[in-house]
């Protein structure tokens, strides 16, 4: 009987300690501190046309797979690409569902400083502290050492005719420049700032010419011109 009394007392104690099925919602006490979130831009200084990786880092999350990230920039200029779904909202460029990293291509950006804002939210249920926080990272776009444009004197020629391709290139440091050309069809001849595209023997309706410039320090830049050759 003594042993039975001990068992009964232990069972009663366990019952009283057990949570009620109708009790309060489950509380998550792990990671009870506000999210510690920081953002960085690598590299922080780039030349026009280069890419920048913006990374958000949460240092005190126990379940990083339950974190939701969104990114925001105040402008989406032509030529900029942000990996992920981007949309304009109230003059802001919002990028969502990208995870902790977003990549910017700086083609089309004018020289200057740009700021990207990050937002992270803990999607777990039962958090009893701040479940979201923000950060920002800044990068600077510097003028490219070389700029180039490429044009044809005639955007459409008859089969067998020629088109003159002209390059305008400038060096920020006034370095000596060399030129090269490549065409997707026909034949192109020239090594100075202009070249001649011959369409004799061409089989394509649209010919794309790549114009390239290189300075004596190895910097390069390219641009494109197109010439159509209507079928006879």
pLDDT score, position 15 = 47
Render pLDDT for 93-118 as a digit per residue (tens, 0 to 9): 545 456 788 877 776 677 888 888 88
Q: Which of the listed residues 94, 121, 142 is the one where a domain comes to its end?
A: 142
Residue 46's closest CA among 127, 145, 117, 123? Answer: 145
pLDDT score, position 49 = 73
- Distance, in Å, from the CA atom of 226 to the CA atom of 232, rounded to the nearest integer, reads 19
pLDDT score, position 71 = 75
Segments forming the whole domain that contains residue 166:
146-228
pLDDT score, position 43 = 94
Place of tokens 């190895």: 218
Rounded alpha-carbon distances, angstroms, from residue 78 to 75, 88, 107, 108, 109: 10, 13, 8, 6, 8
pLDDT score, position 89 = 36
Q: Is residue 12 part of a domain?
A: no
Q: Is residue 134 part of a domain?
A: yes
Q: Which of the listed residues 116, 142, 168 is the one where a domain comes to its end?
A: 142
Do 54 and 157 fall into the same domain?
A: no
Do 56 and 107 fall into the same domain?
A: yes
Alpha-helix residue ranges (DSSP H) falling in the chain: 2-17
pLDDT score, position 20 = 41
Q: Is residue 193 part of a domain?
A: yes
pLDDT score, position 82 = 42
199 neighbors 207 (Cβ within 8 angstroms): yes
Burial of 121 from C-beta contacts in 10 A (0-12 / 13-18 / 19+): middle
pTM over 0.95: no
- Low-confidence residues in the chain, pLDDT < 70: 1-32, 73-98, 107-108, 125-130, 232
Q: Strands, E, within the chain: which ranges?
A: 37-42, 45-47, 51-58, 67-73, 85-89, 92-96, 101-105, 112-122, 132-142, 146-152, 162-171, 177-183, 187-189, 194-198, 206-215, 220-228
How many residues are present in the chain? 232
Q: Is residue 6 part of a domain?
A: no
pLDDT score, position 168 = 95
Do 128 and 160 fall into the same domain?
A: no
Residue 86's closest CA among 100, 98, 101, 69? Answer: 98
Render pLDDT for 31-62 as a digit per residue (tens, 0 to 9): 457 788 889 999 999 988 788 888 888 888 77
pLDDT score, position 221 = 86
Number of structural domains, the chain? 2
pLDDT score, position 34 = 78
Q: Is residue 154 part of a domain?
A: yes
């Amino acid at each position: 009987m003594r042993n039975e009394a001990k068992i009964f007392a232990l069972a009663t104690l366990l019952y009283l300690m057990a949570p009620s099925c109708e009790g309060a919602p489950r509380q998550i006490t792990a990671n009870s501190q506000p999210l510690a979130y920081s953002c960085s831009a690598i590299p922080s200084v780039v030349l026009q046309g280069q890419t920048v990786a913006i990374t958000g880092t949460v240092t005190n999350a126990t379940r990083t797979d339950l974190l939701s990230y969104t990114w925001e920039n105040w402008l989406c200029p032509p030529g900029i690409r942000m990996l992920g779904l981007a949309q304009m909202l109230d003059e802001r460029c919002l990028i969502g569902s990208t995870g902790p990293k977003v990549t910017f291509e700086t083609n089309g950006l004018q020289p200057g400083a740009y700021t990207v804002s990050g937002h992270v939210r803990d999607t777990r249920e039962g958090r009893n502290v701040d479940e979201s926080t923000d950060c920002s990272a800044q990068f600077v776009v510097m003028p490219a050492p070389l700029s180039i444009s490429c044009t044809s004197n005639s955007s459409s020629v008859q089969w067998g005719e020629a088109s003159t391709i002209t390059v305008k290139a400038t060096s920020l440091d006034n370095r000596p420049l060399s030129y090269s050309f490549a065409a997707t069809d026909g034949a192109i001849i020239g090594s100075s700032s202009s070249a001649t595209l011959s369409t004799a023997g061409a089989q394509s309706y649209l010919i794309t010419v790549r114009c390239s410039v290189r300075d004596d320090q190895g910097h390069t830049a390219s641009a494109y011109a197109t010439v159509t050759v209507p079928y006879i």
